Structure 1
Amino acid sequence: MTGTPTHKPEAALTHSRIDPRVWQVALVVSIGSFMAQMDSTLVNVSLSSIGHTLGAPLAATQWIVSGYLLAMALMLPLNGWLVDHVGAKRLYLFCFAAFTFASMLCGAAHGVAALIGARLLQGLVAGVLAPMAQMMIGRVGGQNMQRVMGYTTLPILLGPIAGPVLAGAILAHASWSWLFFVNVPIGVLGVALAARMLPRDTVAAQPRPFDFAGFALVSPGLVALIYGLQGSLLCLCAGFALLVAFVLYARSKGEAALIDVRIFQGRTFRVAALVQFFANGIMFGRQLAVPLFLIAGCELSASHAGGLVAIIGIGMMISFAILGILTDRFGCRAVAAGGALLALLGTLAFVWMAFNGYSSAWAVASLFLAGLGQGTISVPSIAAAYASLPKTRMPVANTALNIAQRIGGPFATTLISMSLVMTPGHASGVQVHHFEAAFVVLALLHALCLAATLWLPMRIERTPQR
């Protein structure tokens, strides 16, 4: 199997002490994830400044973000096939270096068209790079996978927290180009550490031939579906039709398909993918609804609202730090379901505030509760999905889980956006009660996520490695 480590990380399966080599892999992939998260936050909060400097309208500058996301969706299905053919380490090194180079191109752009083009290149690389962090940890983590994932997610959470602060400092003292140039030293460090610390690749015995027909169905299908979820019914229908066609096609192709959909025949993996869909959906839905409610509905300042939203990150950091201990003691299902319940309770508090008025005490308590719960949903389900499969199936499992995550986000944000637009009186001015439907929808998504976690296995038992 291409990309399988030459050392024996299975030592982690029989000892509670985590192999130092596992921490080396975790350190390297955490740098890549941190850079990607920070980059997204820097760009998202600086779009208006970039557009003003370049003299571009919002309709054009929004493609700096949208183009990146769509290019990412286009390449995401290729991850498993590329790992098999190129090797995990070689692919990670190339993508990390290419992402850093694309950051330099973004910073050097002199117009919005050139910047969008460089962001498209970044998105193409990120579509292959993004799923690799959890796959690499899944390969070497063994029984300690959830503990390792919990710890390595801590620095990733710093990206969205540090991003707005860093963006403000850069824009106050330098040009917008440094929003992208800041990635370069981080990227150089990450590539150097990856070359030294990641386990070497081995040669695949029988690499799969490239599935051109499958790629022609699933990649455009994902792009059309994600774009359609942002408001185009025609693209939504086209994306759905292409993905249905791919599923039917892939079932007949079996392992030769770009993504072997038979992986969903396993109940544990199927449930874990559903949990990932809803977990990512409620996270993105909360990121959309809560700041809008606080700023537009409750008339809080942007800095005040930002400080409140940061409480979610604090809650998540605490839960990630103790995730391994909780799972060892209470099991996969109890931890994920308990987290989903806490996140639901936190959202129900916002439903109450939408109907009865803003309360600072309720806001602080509910956001902390939501973050605490959100942090314990995803990792147990990912660990359960990986543990239910042999390592030879890890690349295709990783691709499938990431596709579920990428679709969940725009699905939730579209529902919430529609509920806001369709609220009577919204056009005349936003008020607290205009968010009633939005938070009810978000609470229903939380309830569906909770229901999905109840189908996870009680405990994680690893499938024999074949």
Structure 2
Amino acid sequence: MADVVRWGTPRARAVLAATILGSGMAMLDSTVVNVALPSIGAELGADVAGLQWVLDGYLLSLASLILVAGSLGDRYGRRRVFVLGVVWFGAASLLCGLAPNTGLLVAARVLQGVGGALLTPGSLAIIQSAFVRDDRARAIGAWSGLSGVATAVGPLVGGLLVQAWSWRLAFLVNLPVAVACGWLARRCVPESRDPSATGRPDVAGSVLGALGLAGITGALVEAPARGADALVVASGAAGVAGLTAFVLLQRRAKNPLVPPPLFRNTTFALANGLTFLVYAALGGVLVLMVLHLQVSLGYPPTAAGLASLPITLTMLALSARSGRLAQRIGPRTQLVVGPLLVAAGMLLLRRAEPGVGYLDGVLPGVLVFGLGLATVVAPVTATVLAAAPDRYAGVASGVNNAVARTGSLVAVAVLPAVAGLTGSAYSDPVALTQGWRTALLVCASAAAVGGLLALGTDNDVLRPAGPGRDCHSCGVDAPPSRTRT
């Protein structure tokens, strides 16, 4: 029990700092590149598909490998795998910053996603295993809020870096952060693992999942420009076959990446469904917003980043409180209301058109958008983890992170085509404005459906176990989660 961490202690602050720096670095890099896309496209001569691959190359390897990474942490030590991921991420960031062309940049982004996959589930699993039960929701709230801020502040940081020198700084800035994070983790984070995890990780399942996502993503990205040619059809068919084989393997494997019993819990399944839809909507809007502000409204890169600052401030101020509120009253209300507020904010952002000022065209939407994210992010993360036994902390975290990244991956792959943005259309203000309005309708609908899913979640999932309450297993110290019937 010497390594148990309690809220408010110096050790707790150090553990939170290390995990927030690590996950925040990965989250930041998934959005900081957005504002640099016009500069990348101009310098490297990339079309829409090339820019999609700059984003999706990272998301693809992150989403594909995050499950096996969580399993590796459970088996070999969560801190050990986390530190490995931090070092890998920093090295790949250096390669991104030095890339001379689009192809090598995409390859470096894929490698960067591998590092992100190693460190992201470990950060949340470390909190879940290190903090005492009564402090976990509060710690997760702080982690969610500050890590989420990294996602929202990405466009601002990207804008400042692009204007200061080059889009390459958006990657090179990760190097000092990785050094600080690795030092803190080695010095202050307690090691933890699942003592019941035996055997080898499900490498075959990881490969099938990666191939499945890669095939489907390739088909979605390339289809608008290439049509239904042999490569697109083959890629899509291989993707469907890979994901089908992945599901079948998980049902039969001795040590699956995704233990099927996890999804028999209704709350776990619905909370992950909500995560997929909200993060798809979030990823789609953040990608197009900075393009729209720069190309259609004429904002310079820094101003385009500053436009989303209210999202950052709202999440910073309210996310930790949102986590505590969910623990006190149950998460269901916030899981329903939060996505609906996100959807409302997106609809308000349809007013951001050429000729409209920031105060009346952009600010109302980003304020409501930020309030919705602050309402839902911490409670949905805590709900997913509380609905799983503690021994599956790394796996549950990996599943939730994989679901979130897959949502963003699908949005980036699909949304430009749905919005009518192909080829070099992203550089045409008229086409981009029309595509922006269409994309917002699609993303708002996805977020609203996510909120409706939350109506079926267990509102008692975050409450401490007591006499007569159901629990996962008599031998597991985990929050109760009753499957609704």
Q: What TM-score results when the alignment is normalised by the length of structure 1?
A: 0.83
How far did residue 155 of structure 1 move? 3.6
1:53-452, aligned counterparts within 5 Å?
57-58=46-47, 63-109=53-99, 114-141=104-131, 142-160=133-151, 163-171=154-162, 174=165, 177-201=168-192, 204=195, 207-232=198-223, 234=233, 235-253=235-253, 255-291=254-290, 305-350=304-349, 360-361=359-360, 363-414=362-413, 416-421=415-420, 429-430=430-431, 435-452=436-453
1:137 Cα offset (Å): 1.9
Output the amino acid matched with 2:73.
Answer: V
Count residues in correspondence.
Answer: 451
Q: CA deviation at 1:222?
A: 2.3
> Given the superposition, is the C-alpha separation of residues 432 and 27 from structure 1 closer, same or farther in structure 2, using an over 3 Å criterion?
closer
* Alpha-carbon distance in 1 for matches of 2:98, 2:300: 33
1:84–1:207 contact (8 Å) kept in structure 2: no
3-state SS in 2 of match to 1:404: helix
Confirm whether residue 461 of structure 1 aligns to residue 463 of structure 2: yes
Give the distance between the partners of 1:361 and 1:227, measured in 2 at CA. Answer: 39
Q: Is the 8 A contact 1:95 1:125 kept in 2?
A: yes
Instruction: State the distance in 1 between where 2:245 and 2:239 align.
Output: 10
Following the alignment from structure 1 to structure 2, what is the Cα–Cα distance between the partners of residues 23 and 264? 33
Q: CA deviation at 1:290?
A: 4.1
Q: Structure 1 stretch 258-267 or stretch 69-78: which is displaced more?
A: 69-78
Shift of residue 339, structure 1, vs aligned partner: 1.5
Distance 1:229-1:313 versus aligned 2 partners, 3 A rule: farther
**Contact 2:70-2:121 within 8 A present in 1 as well:** no
| Offset at residue 358 of structure 1 (A) | 8.3
**What percentage of aligned pairs have identical amino acids?**
27
Give the drift of 1:217.
2.0
- The one-letter code sitting in structure 1 at the alignment partner of 2:459 is M
Q: Take 2:180 and 2:405, find their aligned partners in 1: how far apart are those partners? A: 28
- Mapped to 1, the partners of 2:432 and 2:401 lie a distance apart of 36
Residue aligned with 2:198, SS: coil
Given that 1:282 and 1:446 are in contact with CA atoms closer than 8 Å, whether structure 2 keeps it comes out as yes
5+ residue gaps, structure 2: 224-231, 465-470, 478-485
In the alignment, the residues of structure 2 paired with residue 155 and residue 191 of structure 1 have an alpha-carbon distance, to the nearest angstrom, of 18
Contact 1:347 1:370 (C-alpha < 8 Å) held by counterparts: yes
Q: Rate the CA distance shift 1:352–1:273 in 2: closer, same or farther, 3 A.
A: same
How many Å separate the matches in 1 of 2:304 and 2:202? Answer: 48
Task: Tell me the secondary structure at the aligned position of residue 377 of structure 1.
Answer: helix
Q: Which moved more, 1:257-266 or 1:229-238?
A: 229-238
Shift of 1:32: 0.9
Structure 1 segment 22-37 matched on structure 2, within 5 A: 22-37=12-27
- One-letter amino acid of the structure 2 residue matched with residue 461 of structure 1: R
The change in CA–CA distance for 1:52 and 1:31 in structure 2 (over 3 A counts) is: same
Cα distance, 1:315 vs structure 2: 2.6
Whole-angstrom CA distance in 1 between matches of 2:352 and 2:175? 43
Q: Deviations over 1:29-74 (max 9, x none)?
A: 1111232233344444334545655x55446676444433333234
- 2:59–2:406 CA contact under 8 A, matched in 1: no
Quick one: distance in 1 between partners of 2:143 and 2:304?
27
What amino acid sits opposite 1:8 in the alignment? V
Partners of 1:428 and 1:200 in 2: CA distance: 52
Q: Distance in 2 between matches of 1:361 and 1:111?
A: 40
Provide the aligned C-alpha RMSD in A.
Answer: 3.5
Output one character per residue of 1:401-428: Cα deviation in whole Å (capped at 9) or x when no partner.
Answer: 12211221233445543432199xx999
Query: What CA distance in whole angstroms lies between the structure 2 residues aligned with 1:26 and 1:310?
Result: 23
Distance 2:164 2:19 in 1: 31
